[in-house]
A and B are shown apart, each in its own frame.
Chain A
Amino acid sequence: GESVGLHLPTLSVQEGDNSIINCAYSNSASDYFIWYKQESGKGPQFIIDIRSNMDKRQGQRVTVLLNKTVKHLSLQIAATQPGDSAVYFCAENTWGGYNKLIFGAGTRLAVHP
């Protein structure tokens, strides 16, 4: 049978508010980080990425912050919309000769009208 699933942490926000999703990564040697959005029953969708030589990068309505000192990554979504409701994963690129991505546990974002 299926494995017992972990309960994903959930962030509930009101439509129009800003959302901040946090992630702690594991490998201090990782040099590339990506945020993905996953809607139910679908594959992860690329949102934004950042390299370790940067501490901030902005996209359309999204900003990623990287704090290498404490191995922390955050995704900020401005003016959150109902369509932003999904599970968000951070991923770190751990170079092992094969460009492997290691995913974080994920956070469910629930946007309420």
Chain B
Amino acid sequence: GAVVSQHPSRVICKSGTSVKIECRSLDFQATTMFWYRQFPKQSLMLMATSNEGSKATYEQGVEKDKFLINHASLTLSTLTVTSAHPEDSSFYICSAPPKSDTQYFGPGTRLTVL
């Protein structure tokens, strides 16, 4: 199946700092990628849709100025958590569709904000 990678896999940062998470499609091009957040023992919640060459589309309740998304190329999308606070601590996962429907997920990034 298609491979999606994320970096870093884990990050610990101090409150108030910004953290960048990368999502790459390794063997296919993706004009669209998706960012999810998952709290412990909960399901995945879609945060935003990353579009190559245009602005990201954010889900209701997700602050676009706090979660900056840049889809720099057909194989790379980045999520930057700005001015992170402890409540932003979560598991962030990206996905990309190699075909029109099926989405393949990255391994996730565990963010801990102290």
Contact = CB atoms under 8 A, between A and B. Distances in A.
Interface string A1-41: 11101111000000000000000000000001010100001
Contacts of A34: 102-103
B39 A45 contact: no
B49 A100 contact: yes
Contact of B46 (A49, A102, A104): A102
A35 B104 CA distance: 12
Contacts of B45: 103
Contacts, number: 73
A32 B101 contact: yes
A8 B6 CA distance: 26
B103 to A, nearest CB: 6
Nearest to B10: A41
Contacts of A8: 41
The size class of the interface chain A forms with chain B is: 20 to 34
B67 interface: no
Contacts of A6: 41-42
Interface in A42-70: 42-46, 49
Interface in A91-113: 93, 98-106
Contacts of B57: 98
Given A2-B40, A2-B89, A5-B39, A99 B97 contact: yes
B44 A46 contact: no
- Secondary structure call for the A interface: loop
A103 B40 contact: no
A41 B102 CA distance: 22
A104 B108 contact: no
A43 B34 contact: no
B43 A106 contact: yes
Nearest to A44: B105
A8 to B, nearest CB: 6
A50 B69 CA distance: 31
Interface of B: 1, 4, 6, 32, 34, 39-46, 49, 57, 86-87, 89-90, 93, 95, 97, 100-108, 110
